[in-house]
Amino acid sequence: MEYLLGRDWEISPAGGATGEAFIAKNDDQKLFLKRNSSPFLAVLSAEGIVPKLVWTKRLENGDVITAQHWLSSRELKPQEMNDENVAKLLWKIHQSHPLLNMLKRMGKAPLKPEALLKQLESSLNEDLGDEPIVVKSLDFLKRNVDAIQCEEHVVCHSDVNHNNWLLSDEQELYLIDWDGAMIADPAIDLGMLLYWYVPKEEWAAWLRMYGAELTPHLELRMKWYVICQTIISIQWHLEKDRIEESTRWLQSLEKMMD
């Protein structure tokens, strides 16, 4: 990696699960480097959704290295997810034709709820599948899979956790970590954000900032996808032996199904 920039640059791992991200420093200059980023990154940069892409270089072995400006920034706090700027940026993402066209060119097809349900059922741990609240939740998913059909398919981030929202020192807001991007019902992102961060009595007001109305159909769609995502999260934590976290997610599932 060093020979890409020269000897004056100090390169260190940036952390993360993949081990493919690095920080490069040279005096006051700082870059975020990533190996084999998706070509989607260039469109995200052009749309102003992630920090600016500085350059892309292809190595002799076929790897592609991307460099982005390193911004002095911080993650959003959970209570800041109720902010109008969050709603507006998510609306911009969901309405972006360049983002949608790029994912289609990359071979992505819309995620249908019946496919998601089938995938969930086929991968579910047997013991978890016997949990009463999971049985009840799966019954809800099956009964409502036809009722949540939606013709609107947009680019969804699919992990709008507050840790993935960056606010720069210049008050510029970005949404990072797009590895799970998909074409799907916007209710996937909306449900995750509202259920996790916004009191239910404020959902209608938040959605007005976003540019949508809280209808019974949207509310059902959000609940359906959040329940799906919650079961997936419970199983993921169980597989990692994170019993405390999986218990918290089970408790969340019980509240949703009340």
Annotated active-site residue in 83, 146, 159, 189: 159
The DSSP result for 48-91, as a single string, is TSSSPEEEEEE-TTS-EEEEEEPP-EEEPPGGGGGSHHHHHHHH
Degrees, nearest 5: CA angle 218-222-224: 115
Residue 22's SS3 state is strand
Strand partners, 57: 65
By CB neighbour count within 10 A (0-12 exposed, 13-18 middle, 19+ buried), where does 71 fall? middle
Rounded distance between C-alpha atoms, residue 17 and residue 22, angstroms = 12
Active site residue 83: no
- Compute the Cα dihedral for 86, 87, 88, 89 and give only its sign: positive
- Compute the Cα dihedral for 81, 186, 249, 174 and give only its sign: negative
**Which spans in 112-215 are helix H?**
113-123, 126-129, 132-144, 187-197, 203-210
Strand partners, 12: 23
Q: Hey, which residues are catalytic here?
A: 159
